Structure 1
């Protein structure tokens, strides 16, 4: 019987039958404990126990799943985390290691963006909540990979997210979103996020990443507008344009509230803290 992964965990799966997963168009084979897979979600429980030939023979064929994504999923099954580009073992990062603030000097209203970026970095809706972290982002990955091809940094985790959505792995989806956010929190203006915006446009399974991606795009808008590809996506994706504008309005309101709280008055006499102007996105969410 399917058991929610949120319930107390036992090691009963160790004695379960190992299933052969034939993955990708070339059919690479992997062996995984069947009970460990089945307990992740109802759809995966059905894959293992549906009584059809594959489940009876202990073989699951997944030609639609790429091998790299399956390897990360398998590592997550056994450890609760998975390795992906720009992540390193948490044990290798000193606890007192600090990362200098991302440079935000390209933007005229730099104080507004700094305040909004600080809120973005610590939003509880995005950050890790439940999982032990075996891997963490390289604390200087933005500098280390500044001139290299980082296209897989975000897409590798996003692919696991889409896989998790397909099989209703809610906890893994939340975990992947937190991983992407942890990368974003250490690196401002990464143009690879434009690829994530394209993914949100083209892939319904990526809908749960929209808020995260839209907010990052709003924070990096001044830089992203120098990329023709970004303009093209916005022309074809009106929802993104609207949501990014709303995010930017919320930045101004957040800054206005902060100034009001310390006794700074708007020189124009307008209150940016009004209900009419406030785009409701509490920093505690």
Structure 2
């Protein structure tokens, strides 16, 4: 009954217009939504739409929110969930000789002749690397949702299938940008949902020398702008991204763009070092 009443209050409320994307898309886009769909999400949004200059004018400007991010935000406002963009096929695949050499690509020791096999004793336990343990820990991180979600099959649930020849930057950034929007507007449910989906996608993602840039793009976004979520320290979006970077530091440090990101200093370096020290201890 409550959901029915909420739906009625939303569709019967006045139309409120947002002008979005000018600073990130290069052009401004106007989107009309029902006032109550936005107002019910948080106190700052209730104030925005129901009191003050923006409420009287019936419109607001969000220059730093892209059109794509805002459309997913509006979908979340109406339904409690948002669709994930499809991965994009990579436009350029570097030649093998141009790729940074990862640990897994080092020459393998020459195999013993077939006539002299040297298999491990049956009682010898399997050796598990530190990286394997850390990756397992990352996969089992608990990122609970704070509200029910509609979970439209095929559009809202992160895929469990990894597409090696596709770029994941747009997918990572779709979740990260909604997290930041939720952080700025105090929408805890949206933050939890975006973090949940980002974590699930990172667990599927298979890092290699061709797609390191996808992680660099995510890290750059998470740590650009000290006002985004700096007070969370290694919690929230930055914490999740930094944990992933710490686990894969061996591969990432061989990427020029990633190292240039660290050379810039700032909070990302502090968080990265903290997590690396935690690994040692």
Structure 2 residue aligned with 1:137: 158
2:39–2:47 CA contact under 8 A, matched in 1: yes
**Counterpart check, 1:69 vs 2:73:** no
1:105/1:129 Cα in 2 relative to 1: closer, same or farther (>3 Å)?
farther
2:19–2:63 CA contact under 8 A, matched in 1: yes
Per-residue deviation at 1:211? 1.0
1:197/1:203 Cα in 2 relative to 1: closer, same or farther (>3 Å)?
same
Per-residue deviation at 1:51? 4.0
Aligned residues: 225
Equivalence map 1:1-285=2 (5 Å): 10-11=5-6, 12-25=9-22, 26-52=27-53, 54-86=54-86, 106=104, 111-124=129-142, 126-128=143-145, 130-132=147-149, 133-134=151-152, 135-141=156-162, 144=163, 146-189=164-207, 191=212, 192-204=214-226, 205-207=228-230, 208-237=236-265, 239-251=267-279, 277=281
**Quick one: distance in 1 between partners of 2:276 and 2:206?**
16
Per-residue deviation at 1:114? 1.4
**Quick one: distance in 1 between partners of 2:215 and 2:203?**
12
1:120/1:14 Cα in 2 relative to 1: closer, same or farther (>3 Å)?
same
Structure 1: segments with no counterpart, 5+ residues: 1-7, 88-103, 253-276, 278-285
**Quick one: distance in 2 between partners of 1:250 and 1:224?**
18
1:149/1:59 Cα in 2 relative to 1: closer, same or farther (>3 Å)?
same
Structure 2: segments with no counterpart, 5+ residues: 88-101, 107-126, 231-235
Structure-1-length-normalised TM-score: 0.69
Per-residue deviation at 1:175? 1.6
Per-residue deviation at 1:249? 4.9
**Quick one: distance in 2 between partners of 1:231 and 1:158?**
21
**Quick one: distance in 1 between partners of 2:199 and 2:55?**
37
1:110/1:130 Cα in 2 relative to 1: closer, same or farther (>3 Å)?
farther
**Quick one: distance in 1 between partners of 2:270 and 2:169?**
26
**Quick one: distance in 2 between partners of 1:140 and 1:248?**
30
Per-residue deviation at 1:242? 4.7
